[in-house]
Amino acid sequence: MEKDARKLILVTNDDGFQAKGISYLTEIAKEFGEVVVVAPEKGQSGMSHSVSLNIPLFLKSHKSDNGHLLYSCSGTPADCVKLALHKVLKRKPDLIISGINHGSNASVSAIYSGTVAAAREGSMHGIPSIGFSLLNHSSDADFTASSHYVRIIIAKVFENGIPDHTCLNVNIPDLDLNEIVGIKICRQTKGKWIEEFDQRTNPSKQDYFWLTGQFSNMEPLAEDTDEWALFNNYVSIVPIEVDLTSYHVLNELKKWNF
User: What's the domain range around 228?
Assistant: 8-188+219-256
Is position 198 within any domain? no
Confirm if 72 and 60 have CB atoms less than 8 A apart.
Answer: yes
- pTM here is 0.92
Is position 250 within any domain? yes
Is position 204 within any domain? no
Bridge partners (DSSP) of residue 130 are: 97, 168
- pLDDT at 5 (0 to 100): 57
Torsion of CA 153, 156, 162, 166, to 10 degrees: -10
The model's pLDDT over 50-67, given as tens digits with 9 standing for 90+, comes to 999 999 999 999 988 777
- Helix, strand or coil, per DSSP, at residue 79: helix
> Which CATH number belongs to the domain containing residue 25 in this structure?
3.40.1210.10
Number of domains in the chain: 1
**How far is it, in rounded angstroms, from Cα 166 to Cα 162?**
7
Residues 101, 141, 185, 216, CA torsion sign: negative
Is position 177 within any domain? yes
The model's pLDDT over 78-126, given as tens digits with 9 standing for 90+, comes to 999 999 999 999 999 999 999 999 999 999 999 999 999 999 999 999 9
Is position 210 within any domain? no
Is position 71 within any domain? yes
